Amino acid sequence: MDVGGDGVAVITLDGPETLNAFSGTVARDLSAAYQRCDADSGVRAVVVTGAGRAFCSGADLSPGSTPFAPPGPGFSASPVEPPAWRVGKLVVAAVNGPAIGIGFTLALQCDVLLVAEDARLSVPQVRLGVLGDAGSHATLRRAAGQSVAAELLLTGRPITGREAAARGIASRALPASEVLAAALELARDVAAHADLEAVALSKAILWSGAGLDATAEAETEAHLRLMGRRSPD
């Protein structure tokens, strides 16, 4: 993870020889990076991307890996803790290339997804005898509705970044070479101009899943907290 003087932390999934395949080590490193971003007041926004031409090709299937072995004690289908939605900063996924399986479901945990137009995105787990992970049954349904979520999770079929943007799963679809730059521009704008506590409170309400009345109450509580401060962050 790199934190610039602009307050933007860039987390790079860095295993280009395997298209940034997901492993236990990646889970631990990403968890640690999110924990640091959440705790560090010098971090005002976060960008997550992949090294090389992929975002994340999914679970590590190299010889010796056992992604579909019977789970042991403490197993969780959400191996990154905290998830991006619990990091109290804007988290932007710069999906610069293929995002498959947990590569896609981890991106769905981010606040904003910017995707390469031709990137292949899928949650193929039902075709492998398992199912979508990392909260994807909630994140996909929230982003695109029940029907689209069911189509992707129950069929495992791939879509392009262009289709993801058209269906509301991603914010924008861009040429692959422009994705990271656009994500950094967005993160830097928030880091420079948005109030850190206001972003954290707004994000918590967005991700809470609360109904209309509870949301209105949470907004009132947030306003009272923010408007009662002596000075903005």
pLDDT in tens, 179-195: 999 999 999 999 999 99
Give 71's pLDDT tier (boundaries 50, 70, 90). confident
Answer yes or no: do 136 and 200 share one domain: no
Instruction: Please tell me whether residues 35 and 145 are part of one structural domain.
Output: yes
Q: Which domain holds residue 223?
A: 195-227
Same domain, 48 and 80: yes
Give the three-state DSSP class for 183: helix
More confidently predicted of 75 and 214: 214
Residues in the chain: 233
Q: What was the pLDDT predicted at 231?
A: 57
Same domain, 23 and 89: yes
- Does any domain span residue 232? no
> In what order do the strands lie in the sheet containing 90-95?
2-3, 8-13, 45-50, 90-95, 112-116, 172-174
My answer on whether 76 and 160 are in the same domain is: yes
Please check whether residues 37 and 126 belong to one and the same domain. Answer: yes
Helical pair 136-144 and 146-155, crossing angle rounded to 10 deg: 140
Residue-wise pLDDT tens digits, 114-173: 999 999 999 999 999 999 999 999 999 999 999 999 999 999 999 999 999 999 999 999
Residue type, 98: P
pLDDT tens-place string over residues 30-48: 999 999 999 999 999 999 9
pLDDT for 68 beyond 60: no
